[in-house]
Structure 1
Amino acid sequence: MQFLGIHHVSALTASAKRNYHFYTEILGMRLVKKSVNQDSPDMYHLFYADEMGRPGTDLTFFEMLGVGQTYRGNNSISLTGLRVRDDEALRYWVERFEHYQVKYQGLTEQLGRQVIFFEDPEGQRLMLVSDQNNQGVAAGIPWDKSPVPQKYGITGLGPIRLTIPELAPSEGVLTRVMGFRHVGRYPAYQEGQADVEVYQTGQGGTGAEVHLEVRNDLSKEKPGRGSVHHVAFRVKDEQQLKQWYERIKEERMPNSGLIDRYYFKSLYFREPNGILYELATDEPGFTTDEPVESLGESLALPPFLEEKRSAIEAQLTPIK
């Protein structure tokens, strides 16, 4: 069993309206699904992705009104990568970030790739990575109606960085349990810290990487707006997800059991350093209840919440 890459990343925001503006108007991603947190339907769950919400292109946000700031630290998903086609695209993004006064660092290199580190207005830690020399998991296709020219648009999720106090527990789960392979390392950005270790799954490449950053100088992160809740990995189908469920049970790792999220089937579990993982199927996808042409334009609810639509809509503040 091998994962097909990263499926999605889910993070927290204190304002769906401001979040929508940044990720659609400035980053140019498409809102492919406007829904609610299925476990707490009084809050929005927004899904930004490529033109049709392909698995591996999806960055999602739970709106938690009034949530405090993030106090950054250990035991966290501390960076989310976003892929672009080539180095030329990164030069475009430098100019765009300057124009919109986005907090960013200039072009730099990581593992032989050009990257830009930047943040959204709530301090969400993000990185653009060039696929110019990349091989591995295929990228998505940016929406042609985006304010960002399609050739420069975000094509999917890139490397995910975990910041942890100890390497061995997380590495053991990634390699022994989940089948990731160690493919390299690069120097830490903080002096005196260990190299960042790099792992890949499936076909590899920027769409299938997890980076482990060990920090011995940090306390545990206190999550809030701008923090990441969990990262999900792509599973081919429900049959394989059931096999993963048996694998996780064999390891006696606490888990959620199989959950139907309507757009995909899921399994959640925590690894020893406290990182929440989700395994999610590629199908059925976001077009199961909306046509591609009108994705994200109206509030989409799974069938079990449909009878509560009026009450749910009454609690939500319109985004547009």
Structure 2
Amino acid sequence: MELKGIHHLSAITAKADKNFDFYTKILGLRLVKKTVNQDDTSVYHLFYGDEKGNPGTELTFFEIPMAGRNHDGVNSISETSLRVANDQALVYWKKRFEDFNVDHEDISKQTGRSALSFKDFEGQRLTLVSDENNDGVKGGTPWEKSPVPQEYGIRGLGPIKLTVRDAQKTINVLTEIMGFREKGRYPSSVKGQPDILVFETGEGGTGAEIHLEERNDLPQERLGRGGVHHVAFRVDNEEELREWITKIQAVGFHNSGYVDRFYFRSLYFREPNGILFELATDGPGFDTDEDINHLGETLALPPFFESQREQIEAKLKPLNTRR
């Protein structure tokens, strides 16, 4: 029962059409699934990833059209990293961000890796990190039909930063329950705040890290557009997921129990600082119900929603994702 790394991360957008344009046309990700939020089928759930949305490459968005802006604070998923092949790719991306007027910072160093922080049109906090020295979990394969040259393309999710009021509570969950190990630390960019701790799981490396920041100078985050809803971790298969369910229930965490998302199977629970964690299986995958060459082009619904297709489509604003 070893978690293999980051599986996916789900965030909030208020504008599905602009979100699609930014993440496919500027960031060059592939839309691998256009579906609905299974807990509220009146809104879209968009999945972006590598050539076929391999586990560890999926960045997803719930569209909540009336969502207010995110108010950053503690007990949150405060930064999402995306992996690129090497340091030279960051030079390409800095120029690309300048060309597309994307809000970005300079290339810097973070835990020995080159990094480039930027924000999307809703203020989503993102960082590109170089895999030049990565010797852990392998990245995905950028889509060959992306507008970004394949050698510079995004290869998946990198380290995810959590910002909390009480780090020890989250440390206990990561290390004593979820099997993460402490890898190191680096100074906070905010004067007077504790070092940021680095934890890893599985093979380690860029695709298997959590960076934990403790802050005593921030309010509680209020989630909105530009914020992150939850982070999911990779479980090898369904049998192992059921063992995790038993383990999480045994320690007394309020949890969802087994959830069938069709493209993967899941368990949800909140760690003591209130951040929503998901454990998700690597399969079956996004080509289960669509041809690999046409992923994301039409509205995909799991079989248990197919009988409601007409009613569901009537509530959704049309979103043209054909290429």
TM-based fold match above 0.5: yes
Alpha-carbon distance in structure 2 between the residues aligned to 1:283 and 1:127: 27
Q: Which residue of 2 aligns with 1:309?
A: 309
Which secondary structure state, in structure 1, belongs to the residue aligned with residue 171 of structure 2?
helix
CA distance in 1 between counterparts of 2:258 and 2:309 reads 25
**Which residue pairs with 2:231 in the alignment?**
231
Task: Give a deviation string over 1:199-226, Cα, whole Å, max 9, x none.
Answer: 0000000100000000000110001000
How far apart are 1:167 and its partner, in Å? 1.1
Q: In 1, distance between residues paired with 2:171 and 2:273?
A: 10
1:154 maps to: 154
Paired position in structure 2 for 1:297: 297
Give the residue type in structure 2 aligned to 1:155.
R
Deviation at 1:150, TM superposition (A): 0.4
Q: Which residue of 1 aligns with 2:280?
A: 280
Structure 2 segments unaligned to the other structure (5+ residues):
none
How far apart are residue 319 of structure 1 and its match? 1.9
**Partner residue in 2 for 1:143:** 143
- What amino acid is aligned across from residue 274 of structure 1 in structure 2? G
Correspondence for 1:190: 190
Task: Output the CA distance in 2 between the equivalents of 1:169 and 1:17.
Answer: 39
Counterparts of 1:200-215 in structure 2 under 5 Å? Answer: 200-215=200-215
Alpha-carbon distance between aligned partners in 1 of 2:104 and 2:189, rounded to the nearest angstrom: 15
How far apart, CA to CA, are the structure 1 residues paired with 2:231 and 2:5?
Answer: 11
Aligned to 2:199: 199
Q: Aligned partners of 1:233 and 1:28: how far apart in 2?
A: 24
What per-residue deviation string (whole Å, max 9, x for no partner) do you get for residues 159-216 of structure 1? Answer: 0000001111000000000000000001101111110000000000010000000000
Look up the equivalent residue of 2:114 and give its one-letter code.
Q
1:314 CA displacement? 1.2
Amino acid corresponding to residue 89 of structure 1 in structure 2: A
| Percent pairwise identity | 59
**Number of the residue aligned with 1:90:** 90
Secondary structure class of the residue paired with 2:92: helix
Is 1:16 the counterpart of 2:16 in the alignment? yes
SS in 2 for 1:107: strand
Write the distance in 2 (CA, Å) between the matches of 1:135 and 1:105.
Answer: 26
Q: Distance in 1 between matches of 2:192 and 2:102?
A: 29
Secondary structure of 1:246's counterpart equals helix
What whole-Å deviation, never above 9, does each CA across 1:263-310 have from its counterpart, x for those lacking one?
Answer: 000000000000100000001010110111000011000111101111
> SS of 1:193's equivalent?
coil
1:56-90 Cα shifts (integer Å, max 9, x gaps): 00000000011101111000000000000000100
How many residues in Structure 1 have an aligned counterpart in Structure 2? 320
2:107 corresponds in structure 1 to 107
Runs of 4+ more than 3 Å apart? none
In structure 1, what is the Cα distance between the partners aligned to 2:43 and 2:216? 36
- In structure 1, the residue corresponding to 2:118 is in which secondary structure? strand
State the secondary structure of the residue aligned to 1:312: helix
Alpha-carbon distance in structure 2 between the residues aligned to 1:57 and 1:133:
19
Report SS of the residue matched to 1:151. helix
Partners in 2 of 1:158 and 1:319 — Cα distance?
A: 29
Aligned AA (2:167): L
Residues of 2 paired with 1:63 and 1:151: CA distance?
31
Q: Deviations over 1:117-147 (max 9, x none)?
A: 1100001000100000011001000001000
> Hey, what's the Cα distance between the residues in 2 that align with 1:191 and 1:28?
36
Distance 1:210 1:30 in 2: 25
Does residue 178 of the first structure (1) align with residue 215 of the second (2)? no
Q: In angstroms, what is the RMSD of aligned CA positions? A: 0.5
Q: In 2, Cα distance between the equivalents of 1:104 and 1:247? A: 42
- How far did residue 33 of structure 1 move? 0.2
Q: What's the TM-score once normalised by structure 1's chain length?
A: 0.99
Whether 1:222 and 2:225 are equivalent positions in the alignment is no
Give yes or no for the alignment of 1:43 onto 2:43.
Answer: yes
Secondary structure at 2:96 match in 1: helix
- Paired with 1:283 and 1:223, the residues of 2 have a C-alpha distance of 29
Shift of 1:250: 1.2
User: Distance in 2 between the 1:41 and 1:202 partners?
Assistant: 34
State the SS of the aligned residue for 1:288.
Answer: coil
Code of the residue aligned with 2:266 in structure 1: it is S
Alignment-mate amino acid for residue 206 of structure 1: T
Aligned mates of 2:202, 2:291 — CA distance in 1: 30
